[in-house]
Structure 1
């Protein structure tokens, strides 16, 4: 016979959850993400301070794209938080691989004329020009209509998706991902015009 004492199993009532120590409540994280995005976008538009635009632009550099992802990556595409995540992700990608981005953009611009004009990339679109364009787009969060920011980013993503489709290297999944990003940003821009994103 064992000396081990047997205990009744703990009842998992309401007090059980009060004693669990662990991760953050997803609802609270989502609410905080939405509030932060709203303050960044709506608050930035109400100021003429150039330093605010620069701080917004370099948010991913100072905080890290991983920190931003942790807060905003799970947000819906048609929310301010979801849009900010996609914009910062786009900028991080352009900075991480500007030569590839330039090649894909160059390949797509002849086949997506309207999107090329809306994106507003200098001609010819080299790595430096693409970095300058994506920075200008993000500065626009503080200095222009947020719908315009989204339309420009969407147009840029559409040209890149078109370019990927014409090149031999990118996979069909890579083309589709960029096209979905373009469609999400464009849809969000229309929603921003119609009723304002939250």
Structure 2
């Protein structure tokens, strides 16, 4: 069975990928390859960042590599924080500081204009082959104050209208079905059926 390296040290993210690919690949992570160089995500788009991680590591390891990049896009802020979501309030990255900055920038913006989406791009790269991409999004809106204690990042201020709760109020199972990453993973699996050998 071929090996698939997930370009992450995030155990939750790794578990998502393992669930999807263990029937096709031996799934490994960056924990299995501590010698790999750190990849600086300096692209202007999620596609660029995901591709850079996947393609750089695929070339370095000479293996099949999957990587993702994701973030929050807020319409009233012209798509910000976008690719800068994790460090929107500056270094070091801090979820609460990021939330505070977003809420401050949206102060006075009415509910109907606080639309937003979580967006994820996944790149699958193998040396000598064309990189495959998949996308996923979860639509919602930004609340006026944080609610809920599950999840991380912007989850406490991301309201999902279809469920009447913020991401941070949803159960892990429900969130995993709705999330941008889950949708991108589903799209990727559909894309690669028949493209990559088992």
TM-score by length of 2: 0.26
Question: Which has a greater percent of strand?
Answer: 2
Query: Which one has more relative contact order, counting CA pairs under 8 Å at least 6 apart?
Result: 1
TM-score by length of 1: 0.26
Question: Which has a greater percent of helix?
Answer: 1
